[in-house]
Amino acid sequence: MSPLFLLRPRTVAGRLTLLLLMLLSFLKVSGHAHAQSTAYTVFELPGAGDGIQVPACLNSFGDVVGRGPDSVESSTRATIWRQYSRTPKLLPAPFAGEFTSASSINDLGVIVGASNTDQALVPCFWTAAASMQRVPLLPGHNAGQALAINNHGQVVGYFSAAGGTRAFVWSRRTAARELALLPGGNYSRARGVNDAGEIIGTAGTAAGEHAVFWSKDGSIHDLGTLAGDTLSTAMGINSAGDVVGYSKGAAGMRAFLWTKTGGMQDLGVLQGGNSSRAFNVNASRTVVGTSTSAAGDRAFVWKPQVGMKDLNEAIPADQGRVLVEAHLINNRGQIVVMGTRMEDSTDHVPTVADADVCAPAPATVYLLTPSK
């Protein structure tokens, strides 16, 4: 491993400097890496299984956030796994026993998610100093969740009220703002935001739910579906505004990559499969997700030069692991994957992709780091 990635700067300026060095390192090697297959070392995230929600976000430093159990208070708490730490850290909750969940972390260490009140789940954030604060709700709304944050501190998610669910964007410098709806639709939910302020999510149409893209000026764009499908879901966005997700129809689901110049592209399926979903994409346009295959559900990585590959082929075969869903990838190429051990005697892992808070998780979560 490069000594560069062992550094843990404590200041904002230090982190920004390290990010610049990481970017220069990435640009230096990317031209040689495209044509090569990537092998990975595997690290099991401790305490990230047994029905706990999937870790929800991976930043550029390899920090992972999600939720984990608080054995003392018998509750579920927002949790952070620092890079290669074997001790998950519970984030503070305002009251003992309160449910909290972390959805996203930026490269400055600010985390967003949700916390419960006596009446509802509300959006919240934790600063780098680990203090928790609530995101102010818009008038008339009584619940919601913060689902993503960029490096400028812009937070996106959704608010809920009697009139339905609405996507929002908020920062500590600007008031919360409701995002536009699609014509004929009555709900929306923002799921991701890049550093350019471009936002992705889903919104209702007269025909059903579609993946959408909100430009920096606030205008909404329907990303549509793959040919023959009726529904679509956007799951991730990178710095260039490339969007990944999945399109749904009578024949099942297909992972897609949408770009501003090429529109929506079908990423296909693994050999012997008939359904796939894409969950995340990084700056080099590497996509991760899950696909059915002749061997069952398997995690995949897709690259423009080589297409879709089974991630299980990139880890040592003698370690007794089955990688089922690849959920997260950062610009360093690290991937958070959900799977199971062979001794668990199960080949299918319940899906959690559509759940934001209370979904069951597979038995084991792994952090994969490129070994070359």
Tokens of 76: 């579920």
Cα distance between residue 18 and residue 3, in whole Å: 11
In a domain, residue 169? The reply is yes
Cα distances from 79 to residues 28, 45, 49, 125, 256, in angstroms, run: 34, 12, 13, 12, 30
Q: What is the pLDDT of residue 19?
A: 58
Residue with tokens 């070359």: 372
Q: What angle do CA 98, 104, 106 make, to 5 degrees?
A: 125
In a domain, residue 8? The reply is no
Per-residue pLDDT of the chain (372 residues; tens, 9 = 90+): 443 333 455 565 666 565 555 555 544 444 444 445 789 999 988 865 555 556 899 999 999 999 887 766 667 889 999 886 778 888 988 765 578 999 999 999 999 999 987 778 999 999 977 688 999 999 999 999 999 999 999 999 999 988 899 999 999 999 999 999 999 999 999 999 999 999 999 999 988 999 999 999 999 999 999 999 999 999 999 999 999 999 999 999 999 999 999 999 999 999 999 999 999 999 999 999 999 999 999 999 999 999 999 999 999 887 789 999 999 999 999 999 999 886 654 444 434 343 344 334 456 889 999 986
Residues contacting residue 308 through CB under 8 Å, at least 6 positions apart: 255, 267, 268, 269, 270, 276, 291, 300, 301, 302
Q: Is 63 left (phi over 0), alpha (psi -120 to 50) or beta?
A: beta
Cα distances from 61 to residues 30, 189, 329, in angstroms, run: 18, 27, 11
**CA dihedral sign, ordered 208, 138, 54, 243:** positive
In a domain, residue 25? The reply is no
Contact 278, 302 (CB under 8 A): yes
Tokens of 186: 């009555």
Task: Give percent helix, percent strand, percent coil of the chain, each to the nearest 5.
Answer: 10, 45, 45
Residues contacting residue 159 through CB under 8 Å, at least 6 positions apart: 123, 137, 138, 141, 143, 144, 165, 166, 168, 176, 178
| DSSP-assigned letter for residue 54 | P
- pTM of the complete model: 0.85
List the domain range (segments joined by +) for residue 222. Answer: 34-370
Number of other residues whose CB lies within 10 A of the CB of residue 97: 12
From 339, 211, 312, select the one nearest 264 (Cα to Cα).
211
Contact 146, 114 (CB under 8 A): yes
In a domain, residue 13? The reply is no
DSSP per-residue string spanning 155-195: EEEEEEETTEEEEEEEETTEEEEEPPPPTT---EEEEEE-T
| DSSP-assigned letter for residue 314 | G
In a domain, residue 298? The reply is yes
From 361, 367, 350, select the one nearest 101 (Cα to Cα).
361
Q: What is the pLDDT of residue 6?
A: 38
Tokens of 337: 């994957």
Rg of the chain taking only CA atoms, in angstroms:
19
Cα distance between residue 87 and residue 305, in whole Å: 38
Q: What is the pLDDT of residue 296?
A: 94
Q: What is the pLDDT of residue 99?
A: 86
Domains in the chain: how many in total? 1
In a domain, residue 172? The reply is yes
Cα distance between residue 315 and residue 38, in whole Å: 9
Residue with tokens 């230090």: 14
Pairing type for strands 40-44 and 364-370 reads antiparallel
- Give SS3 for 217: coil
Q: What is the CATH number of the domain that holds 151?
A: 2.130.10.150
- Give SS3 for 11: coil
In a domain, residue 156? The reply is yes
In a domain, residue 141? The reply is yes
Q: Give me the residues paired with residue 208 across strands.
A: 205
